Structure 1
Amino acid sequence: MSKVLLSFDIEEFDMPFEYGKHLPLKEQLSISQEGCKIILDLLEKHEASATFFSTVVFAQNSVEIISRIQREHHELASHGYYHSSFTNSHLLESREELGRLSGMEVTGFRMPRMMPVDDAAIENAGYRYNSSINPIWLPGRYDNRNKPRTLFALGKVSQLPASATPSLRVPLFWLSFHNFPLKAYLRACATTMKSDGYLNLYFHPWEFTDLNKPGLGMPWYVRRNSGEFMRDRFDRMLSWMTRQQYTFSTISEFLGSRQQR
């Protein structure tokens, strides 16, 4: 069955720091909180389940959103303790604290900005899966063309890379969604689904807010199709996926069903 694994990295909106801008923590959080509410409403409209990778800082300051994630049967996974600071000790600390805050079992991890993370440390911290690989070449960010493109295992941990097309490894991550014509993006999704049997797509809540506001410093390719345009495109994508008879799943449910085969 064709499975769509939607995931969202819910975090302090610190991306302006990369462009020499500064936002107070309260504003970073409020932008991401606004986007999370929009995402949850869209998921509810389409009866779609998803996985939310949260930092501890975001979860501590967003009790209502974490409660809604739990109440509406989504999955909570770890995105570290902080978004812009990391040590291996944060792996266990974030898993335990997110579990305490939410009352949910936390079994998955995604490294902020899809940066490398020590595989042994992931396993030692008790995670069952890691979704921190974008298996593409992105100039100035990473080159993972030598890594597997689809689900594989390292030790006891399932490794779930973000989806990319099977031939040229065209990325299907959030930035592609903003900048590709929607029909072209959906065609790439269909090609990848036919090859792999699943799609692993990730986004951020701040994309659903207006990134053209003064003071954010976002480049045009990040700002493009943000805010209301993003909401409309995402809504249309979910409608298209439903018409294709794709089904939505949390990552842990998907991996559990694969292991039972």
Structure 2
Amino acid sequence: MVLLSFDIEEFDMPFEYGKDISFKDQIAISRAGTIAILDILDKYEIKATFFCTVTFAENIPDLIKSIIDNGHELASHGYYHSNFKPEHLLQSKLKLEELSGAEIVGYRMARMMPVDEKEIEKAGYVYNTSINPTYLPGRYNNFNISRTFFTKENVLQIPASVSPLIRFPLFWLSFHNLPLSIYKMLVSWTYRKDKYLNIYFHPWEFTNLDDFERFGFPAYIRKNTGEKMINRMENLILWIKFKNYRFGTFKEFIKGIK
């Protein structure tokens, strides 16, 4: 199963590069990207999982309704994207359930940072997908963690997909910067080995990020955003369908492995 997911959040990433961006623009940019994602999923009749912050959800009630009404899964990405306290785990779960009317069973920490699995269990989550089991300078050093799903503190841990052996990450940055043929080769290799794929993206990738003065992003983040990202995603989806890999939500995946 291909677990296609999107971390939908207030677009605060420019702050990491010394740029200021208003809250209104943070919401507007992520909103536009989320609409583009929903359009793609609807076009190709596939289901995905949306990990959403409460802050973003409160500002896009119509899109939360679309996510639920179209059979996608809503999960928690925390209360805020750039502020975390352990109590936010339960608070975000309860608030997202209130806003959506759907049961929230999954969690992904903002920026895939470490999170206490005991606290995840106490908050009532069934699964956690906050691990990128690779090495990324200045961000992750997770070579000691299993590449594939495992259980810890009674919570199913579903790491982001990395390739066998060399643990090359298949996350959003790789998708932007690798030739599609190479990315697809890594996807095939990983899927054959693991029998599933866990890849994630963000709504702002589906908007034009080329304005360096506004966002401050280096070339490896700006590359293949906006319309180019939409085209690449559609290309990937068509190829995955051609390979007869089935798309599904995390909830569906968990049912299949129990």
- CA drift of 1:46 comes to 1.0
Paired amino acid for 1:103? G
Corresponding residue for residue 219 of structure 1: 218
Q: Measure, in 2, the Cα distance between the counterparts of 1:257 and 1:146.
A: 26
Q: Trace 1:144-159 onto structure 2 (pairs within 5 A).
A: 144-159=142-157
Corresponding residue for residue 126 of structure 2: 128
**Aligned length, in residue pairs:** 257
Corresponding residue for residue 233 of structure 1: 232
Aligned match for 1:49, one of 20, 23, 47: 47
Corresponding residue for residue 201 of structure 1: 199
Q: Measure, in 1, the Cα distance between the counterparts of 2:118 and 2:240.
A: 36
SS of residue paired to 2:99? helix
Give the root-mean-square deviation of aligned CA atoms: 0.6
- CA drift of 1:133 comes to 0.2
Q: Measure, in 2, the Cα distance between the counterparts of 1:24 and 1:130.
A: 31
Please, what TM-score do these two structures have when normalized by structure 2?
0.99
Q: Measure, in 2, the Cα distance between the counterparts of 1:53 and 1:119.
A: 18
Q: Measure, in 2, the Cα distance between the counterparts of 1:22 and 1:10.
A: 20
Q: Measure, in 2, the Cα distance between the counterparts of 1:224 and 1:81.
A: 29
Paired amino acid for 1:9? D
SS of residue paired to 1:202? strand
Q: Measure, in 2, the Cα distance between the counterparts of 1:257 and 1:105.
A: 19
Aligned match for 2:62, one of 64, 68, 90: 64
SS of residue paired to 2:214? coil
Unaligned runs of 5+ in 2: none
Q: Measure, in 2, the Cα distance between the counterparts of 1:106 and 1:150.
A: 22
The answer as to 2:90 corresponding to 1:85 is: no
Higher mean Cα deviation, 167-176 or 214-223?
Answer: 214-223
Higher mean Cα deviation, 205-214 or 111-120?
Answer: 205-214
Q: Measure, in 2, the Cα distance between the counterparts of 1:166 and 1:48.
A: 26
Q: Measure, in 1, the Cα distance between the counterparts of 2:81 and 2:153.
A: 26
SS of residue paired to 1:215? helix
SS of residue paired to 2:6? strand
Q: Measure, in 2, the Cα distance between the counterparts of 1:58 and 1:174.
A: 20
SS of residue paired to 1:201? strand
- CA drift of 1:224 comes to 0.3
- CA drift of 1:155 comes to 2.4
Aligned match for 2:164, one of 153, 163, 166: 166
Please, what TM-score do these two structures have when normalized by structure 1?
0.98
Paired amino acid for 1:215? R
Q: Measure, in 2, the Cα distance between the counterparts of 1:162 and 1:142.
A: 12
Unaligned runs of 5+ in 1: none
- Could you report, residue by residue, the CA deviation over 1:76-132 in whole angstroms, capped at 9, with x for unpaired residues? 000000000000000000000000000000000000000000110000000000000
Q: Measure, in 2, the Cα distance between the counterparts of 1:174 and 1:116.
A: 19
Q: Measure, in 2, the Cα distance between the counterparts of 1:86 and 1:140.
A: 19
Paired amino acid for 1:55? T
Runs of at least 4 residues of structure 1 off by over 4 A? none
- CA drift of 1:167 comes to 1.1
The answer as to 2:114 corresponding to 1:141 is: no
- Could you report, residue by residue, the CA deviation over 1:42-98 in whole angstroms, capped at 9, with x for unpaired residues? 011111100000000000000011000001000000000000000000000000000
Paired amino acid for 1:235? E
Q: Measure, in 1, the Cα distance between the counterparts of 2:225 and 2:32.
A: 13
Corresponding residue for residue 249 of structure 2: 250
Corresponding residue for residue 75 of structure 1: 73
